[in-house]
């Protein structure tokens, strides 16, 4: 548990200062930088975005690849998907992930963690303390 906490602290310390301080504004992530090369799509700022979301890359990758109905993997700071995709497609899927797994449905702030208890997953809000049951990714 201590290790997990210190990992979280490290992840948080990489988040730009004002990322969570835009009160009244919908949580925004940077534009998706996606480059198609051959038959693959390279999401070039994947690492930057997951550190802002404060979520494990593997979990975000699994969700996005699943929604795009393709396979993906992480190489360096890129996420790479089989197939040709437009940045807008990835952006839409990422927004659905954020709505389901990052934004607190009670206070609509993004300062949340995921917690697992047995087989159940919860979104735990650091701002208002709400615990919301979510489906596993």
> Can you give the binding site for Zn ion, defined by CB under 5 A?
104, 106-107, 125, 127-128, 130
The minimum distance between CB 104 and Zn ion, in angstroms, equals 3
**Which C-beta is closer to Zn ion: that of 93 or that of 125?**
125
**Which C-beta is closer to Zn ion: that of 81 or that of 97?**
97
Q: Residue 76 burial by CB count (10 A; 0-12/13-18/19+): exposed, middle or buried?
A: exposed
**Which C-beta is closer to Zn ion: that of 127 or that of 134?**
127
**Which C-beta is closer to Zn ion: that of 36 or that of 130?**
130
The minimum distance between CB 122 and Zn ion, in angstroms, equals 12
Report the alpha-carbon distance of residue 63 to residue 60 in Å, rounded.
5
The minimum distance between CB 97 and Zn ion, in angstroms, equals 18
Give Cβ neighbours of residue 80 (< 8 Å, ≥ 6 apart).
40, 41, 42, 43, 72, 73, 74
Contact between 97 and 56 under an 8 Å Cβ cutoff? The reply is no
Contact between 81 and 71 under an 8 Å Cβ cutoff? The reply is yes
The minimum distance between CB 128 and Zn ion, in angstroms, equals 3
């Amino acid at each position: 548990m201590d290790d997990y906490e210190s990992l979280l602290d490290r992840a948080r310390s990489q988040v730009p200062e004002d990322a969570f301080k835009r009160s009244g504004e919908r949580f925004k992530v940077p534009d998706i930088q996606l480059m198609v090369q051959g038959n693959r799509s390279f999401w070039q700022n994947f690492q930057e975005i997951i550190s802002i979301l404060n979520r494990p890359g593997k979990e975000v990758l699994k969700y996005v690849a699943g929604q795009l109905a393709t396979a993906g993997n992480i190489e360096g700071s890129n996420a790479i998907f089989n197939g040709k995709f437009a940045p807008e497609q990835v952006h839409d899927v990422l927004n659905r992930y954020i709505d389901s797994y990052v934004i607190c449905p009670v206070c609509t702030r993004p300062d949340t963690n995921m917690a697992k208890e047995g087989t159940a997953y919860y979104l735990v809000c650091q701002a208002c303390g709400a615990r919301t049951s979510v489906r596993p990714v």
